[in-house]
Structure 1
Amino acid sequence: MAHVTFQDQYFRIPPVTRVYTTACVITTILTHLDLVTAFQLYYNPRLIFYHFQVWRILTTFLFFGSFGFNFLFNLIFTYRYCRMLEENQYHGRTADFVFMFLIGGLLMAVVGVFVQILFLGQAFTIMLVYIWARRNPLVRMNFFGLFNFQAPYLPWVLLGFSLLLGNPIAVDVLGIAVGHIYYYLEDVFPHQRGGFRILKTPWILKKLFDREADQPYAPLPEERPGGFDWGQDVPAQNQPQAAGGDD
């Protein structure tokens, strides 16, 4: 077997997942080295609109806190579920995936005007988890080896875990709410009687990001779901993986 370098592994990560998780890591490194501070990154609509510190619209989604358990936990979940969405439901549809990022980020930014949530990265992670979970309702999960459950319950298990750790759950609730809005508008409403597509990816995004379709993606065994105890997929006999479900 040919030697696979870190660079090879890195560039095998699909592009949106690679760019987003790399930006999260770089942001944390910069704050750890005191090159920037969290005060320069947090979401503040007044500073954005009146002092033109527009970078805060982006950096609020990139900072999970200083290096530690919370950072590692969020980064792993972000990488894992962002990558599975991009490689499966959005394979060959990079523009649609980017549009999902924009819609989710916009909804959170609007809500952030009215609530005191300074950093929206964790909420964005929960949104990704929620969308993946609703599109894979038959996948069985295992949380830290304690109990099994179906994938749609994963966001709520994470919310309960945040509660046990003493973290504020408003961020998780925001992520679940935005994830549900996107899932309903994209996967449920268009298939109901009288329904139609509300979320249509702008042509400019398709021109920028979509390329000629690649060959169907066939992940290696180590890249398939089930690499971690928390949120680990539990094999089930004759259990298909569905792409959607009733609301």
Structure 2
Amino acid sequence: MPVGIEAWVTQIPPVTRTWLILAVLTSVAVQSQLVTPLQLYFSFKAAFTNNQPWRALTTFFYFGSISLDFVFHLFFFMRYSRMLEESSFANRKADYFWLLFLSSIMLLALSPLFNLPFLSSPLAYVPIYFWSRRHPSTPISLFGLVTITAPYLPFALVGFSWVLSGTWRAAASDLVGCAVGHVGWFVRDVWTREMVGGPTVLSEAPDVLKRLFGDDF
């Protein structure tokens, strides 16, 4: 690996970096025909009835074959996941992992309702949506063509994804990710402040997880 790329990768925060590496390796493995998408998708029957539990993990790492749509999703997820981990979750790796973990559980539960065998793209929209709600006045330039404020970013990206994929199903799965991201944001930034008055297990990682990640608490 070239030194420049290696240095760039090591500068990415750990949770985002791990997710990025696993996503790239998964797509490369499929492209190299080491595995097939049929071995990676999620369904309750395949994962739990047919004793193939790895599907509950691999579904979050396969962004499709290497293509323009793959690059689009990987770039925006990496960009905003990194920004979120470096700002709102700075020195709180466990809390960021906990946000993604709970979001993953929700997406697995919603998967059969919306017929979503691959959940990588919906999960990628969780940090994008979360970041956009925490930076509501930040202007965003989309490809140098149009400038919008951050809260409109997830939906603009859903529209671009629809154009790139040419099918409404991709947009529908991304909207499910936005909905799950909204729940994560609401629990942490609205419910905790206005209704509960303090952190709960839904808004803050358990102490054992913080110790595992080496976070202060």
TM-score by length of 2: 0.91
| Aligned match of 2:61 | 62
Mapped to 1, the partners of 2:163 and 2:94 lie a distance apart of 38
Distance 1:114 1:72, change over 3 A: same
Q: Counterpart amino acid of 1:38?
A: P
1:108-143 CA distances to partner (integer Å, 9 max, x unpaired)? 000013221111111111111100100111110111
For the Cα contact (< 8 Å) 1:27–1:62, is it kept in 2? Answer: yes
Give how far 1:212 is off.
5.3
For the Cα contact (< 8 Å) 1:28–1:66, is it kept in 2? Answer: yes
Higher helix share: 2
1:75-94 CA distances to partner (integer Å, 9 max, x unpaired)? 11121111111111111101
Mapped to 1, the partners of 2:80 and 2:98 lie a distance apart of 17
Q: 1:192-203 alignment to 2 at 5 Å?
A: 192-198=194-200, 199=202, 200-203=204-207
| Aligned match of 2:11 | 12
Mapped to 2, the partners of 1:28 and 1:112 lie a distance apart of 21
| Aligned match of 2:174 | 172
* Structure 1, 40-49 or 189-198: larger mean CA deviation: 189-198
Which one has the largest radius of gyration?
A: 1
Percent same amino acid among aligned pairs? 37
**Pairing 1:182–2:184 present:** yes
Mapped to 2, the partners of 1:93 and 1:119 lie a distance apart of 28
TM-score by length of 1: 0.80
1:155-195 CA distances to partner (integer Å, 9 max, x unpaired)? 11112223334232211110110000000001111111554
Where structure 2 has 5 or more consecutive residues not aligned to the other structure, the ranges are none
| Aligned match of 1:110 | 109
Distance 1:147 1:186, change over 3 A: same
1:31-61 CA distances to partner (integer Å, 9 max, x unpaired)? 0110000000001110111112111111111
How many aligned residue pairs are there?
210
Counterpart of 1:210 (choices 187, 211, 214) is 214
Where structure 1 has 5 or more consecutive residues not aligned to the other structure, the ranges are 214-247
Mapped to 2, the partners of 1:185 and 1:63 lie a distance apart of 28
Distance 1:194 1:63, change over 3 A: closer
| Aligned match of 1:241 | none
